[in-house]
Amino acid sequence: MSQIKALIQPHGGKLINCYLPEKEGKQTLLTALNLPRLTLSTRNIADLECIATGVYSPLEGFVDEQEYTSIVKDMRLTNGLAWSIPVTLQISESVADQYELDSEIALAHPNGEILAVMTITSKFKPNQNWEAEQVYRTTDEAHPGVKAMSGEGEVYLGGPIKLINAVPYQDFLDYRLTPEATRVEFARREWNTIVAFQTRNPIHRAHEYITKIALEVVDGLFINPLVGQTKSDDIPAKVRMQCYQILMEKYYPQNRVCLSVFPAAMRYAGPREAIMHAIARQNYGCTHFIVGRDHAGVGDYYGTYDAQYIFDEFTEEELKITPLKFEHAFYCTRTQSMATAKTSPSHKEERIHLSGTKVREMLRNGQTPPPEFSRPEVAQILVSSMKLTTV
């Protein structure tokens, strides 16, 4: 191992932490009990946690109107720092009068627990069609990101947050590492260079291939699956986590791989979300980020490699994390191994193309993904889970 260096700086130079100290938190909670209350949606909760723990550094709250406009228009904050998707707190127009500008409100979990206090510094009603066109490249309500955005509400509240209580979870408790915790873990492992892999699917053979290529040139691999809100037809996070665990146990060198969940909600914003995902992984302490085919895409809304091209719109000074861009990997029947067009001598008919979509289709049709698609242990977990959901 090379000489240990300081880990990469968080985006903006400082790792945000919005947790109040215990004593101050108790005092703030007493005040919050008498404040107007806003019950958070599933996406709100995911964003709240990502802001509070520094995943979304340098954001210290939900964006105000000026930051929102700058992000949507230019993919930068008003200070010029790269940021590609506005993190917003939306409410319906029918309840907007309950929340006044320059006042504090309590942000509550659906179970009634107060999680945070927010100071409303901005209250505005943007043009959501413009936001959809810029961020998602479509206004089509069939797009899950557009649908989620429009469903959250027409009025946007912006302002800093102070977290009183951690978001309560019952799952993946051993894998919910904050950026502060992952940085400690990477330093403990004496990793200087770390590549992050974002996924919302089980890791199939193509994923395994590109992550292992990346692992050849860095000290460690950070498998960071998104476990926040996804589409209804995506494979549940609980099932996916079983797949990641068995893969790490049997097919990766355990001393060079770290698994932790990414609590964010999926927006399916393609290129813009690739930038957001990269920034979040820099905050976790990663130096490199894998960008494959159609990263964070859905349907036919984005070009195959648009999520790679967008990185060319930012300088190395704007984005410190290095994207590792991979072509679509496939199983080559001639060489009987994984490959890409750069390494395979095969013809089109000798290539078995893999994707999360194809795996889901096979499972829905009662088919077991073949070894060219998935490791047998992973295929068994997926088939078993599908049987349980159809009983």
Q: Which of 43, 137, 183, 200 is catalytic?
A: 200
- Residue of 206, 207, 202, 211 lying closest to 240 (CA atoms): 202
Taking each helix axis from N to C end, the angle separating 237-251 and 376-390, rounded to the nearest 10 degrees, works out to 160
Told to judge if 205 belongs to the known catalytic residues of this protein, a careful annotator would answer no
Q: Count of alpha carbons within 13 Å of 259, Cβ hemisphere only?
A: 21
Helices (H), the chain: 22-32, 42-52, 65-74, 128-135, 144-152, 179-188, 205-215, 237-251, 271-284, 306-309, 356-364, 376-390
Q: Which of 44, 192, 201, 224 is catalytic?
A: 201
Q: Which long-range contacts (CB under 8 A, 24 or more apart) does 311-316 make?
A: 311/274, 311/275, 311/278, 313/75, 314/75, 314/82, 314/275
Cα separation, 251 vs 319, whole angstroms: 32
- Token readout for 239 is 């099932």
Beta bridge partners of residue 338, listed in sequence order: 331
In 3-state terms, what secondary structure has residue 271?
Answer: helix
Burial of residue 222, with CB atoms counted within 10 A of its CB: 0-12 exposed, 13-18 middle, 19 or more buried: buried
Told to judge if 256 belongs to the known catalytic residues of this protein, a careful annotator would answer no
Cα separation, 340 vs 317, whole angstroms: 31
Cα separation, 29 vs 31, whole angstroms: 5
Which residues are catalytic, by number?
200-201
